[in-house]
């Protein structure tokens, strides 16, 4: 281990990709450690994750170009699979993952942020898919997730031109939800994560599953997925206590504070 830091603050886990000398570029070791870190998250107590990069210059400057430059077709395919497996793991991870993008998010860096549930960034952030300039396609889901997030026309323009965009443009096209001065980024990410972690954990996880799975299917099938997950919330501590709390509040608004939802 050595390229990934993991710390827990309350119910929020913070995963930091820590390879600042290479602007946190992703090589096979970084990807392996990242996967091991996600596998080790204690889902009984951690309710939301933040993914960020070490240093104040880069989130992730992409896949490691030096490591890739001499790969054979087979090695390239294996590397692509390794990346795709971990990016899919992040996307399907049971609890929400917020990408706190503190600088360059290029190639695989932009792609890993897109596998997270929510993206917020510093005003110094820079996004792009420069792959066609390197003779490859975006290989960690960029052709798929960028089009889903910002629409096919904008995704095609960014990918075909390999042009980098700054934080304000990323915000304008809907790639990120909010932009902060660099020093305010992590406090904002922690505040958002703590707010999410303060809600009923079973319900939050069910929402993530419903949104993600619903996006892959027709609206009819999506409605069926939603019904199942909605039903699954009943009889949980969160549903019982959340609704009871609302009813108590109606009796006497001063009597009851926000529910402290138990882990479930």
Catalytic residues: 111, 131
Query: By CB under 6 A, is residue 90 in contact with ligand DAK?
Result: no
Query: By CB under 6 A, is residue 135 in contact with ligand DAK?
Result: no
Closest CB 162 distance from ligand DAK, rounded Å:
9
Closest CB 97 distance from ligand DAK, rounded Å:
19
Q: How far apart are CA 123 and CA 138, in angstroms?
A: 24
Query: By CB under 6 A, is residue 192 in contact with ligand DAK?
Result: no
Q: x/- site string to ligand DAK, residues 2 to 31, per CB under 6 A? A: --------------------xx-x------
Directed axis angle between helix 152-161 and helix 142-150, to 10°?
A: 130
Question: What long-range pairs does 16-20 form, CB within 8 A, spacing at least 24?
Answer: 16/52, 16/53, 16/54, 17/51, 17/52, 17/53, 17/54, 17/59, 17/60, 18/53, 18/54, 19/54, 20/53, 20/54, 20/55, 20/57, 20/58
Query: By CB under 6 A, is residue 53 in contact with ligand DAK?
Result: no
Closest CB 99 distance from ligand DAK, rounded Å:
15
Of the candidates 79, 87, 93, 261, which one interacts with ligand DAK according to CB under 6 A?
A: 79
Closest CB 59 distance from ligand DAK, rounded Å:
10
Query: By CB under 6 A, is residue 120 in contact with ligand DAK?
Result: no
Query: By CB under 6 A, is residue 149 in contact with ligand DAK?
Result: no
Burial of 50 (0-12, 13-18, 19+ CB in 10 A): buried
Query: By CB under 6 A, is residue 193 in contact with ligand DAK?
Result: no
């Amino acid at each position: 281990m050595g390229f990934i830091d993991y710390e827990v603050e309350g119910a929020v886990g913070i995963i930091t990709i820590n390879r600042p000398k290479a602007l946190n570029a992703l090589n096979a070791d970084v990807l392996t450690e990242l996967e091991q870190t996600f596998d080790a998250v204690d889902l009984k107590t951690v309710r939301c994750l933040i993914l960020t990069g070490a240093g104040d210059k880069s989130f992730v400057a992409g896949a490691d170009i030096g490591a890739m430059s001499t790969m054979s077709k087979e090695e390239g395919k294996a590397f692509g699979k390794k990346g795709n497996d971990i990016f899919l793991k992040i996307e399907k991870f049971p609890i929400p993952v917020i990408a706190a993008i503190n600088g360059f998010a290029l190639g695989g860096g932009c792609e890993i942020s897109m596998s997270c549930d929510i993206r917020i960034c510093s005003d110094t952030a820079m996004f792009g898919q420069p792959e066609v300039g390197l003779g490859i396609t975006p290989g960690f889901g960029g052709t798929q997730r960028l089009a889903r997030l910002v629409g096919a026309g904008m995704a095609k323009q960014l990918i075909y031109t390999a042009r980098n965009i700054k934080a304000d443009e990323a915000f304008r096209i809907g790639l990120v939800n909010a932009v902060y001065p660099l020093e305010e980024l992590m406090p904002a990410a922690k505040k958002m994560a703590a707010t999410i972690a303060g809600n009923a954990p079973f319900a939050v996880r069910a929402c993530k599953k419903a949104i993600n799975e619903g996006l892959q299917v027709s609206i009819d099938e999506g409605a069926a997925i939603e019904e199942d997950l909605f039903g699954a919330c009943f009889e949980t501590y969160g549903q019982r206590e959340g609704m009871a709390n609302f009813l108590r509040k109606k009796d006497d608004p001063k009597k009851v504070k926000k529910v402290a939802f138990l882990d479930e």
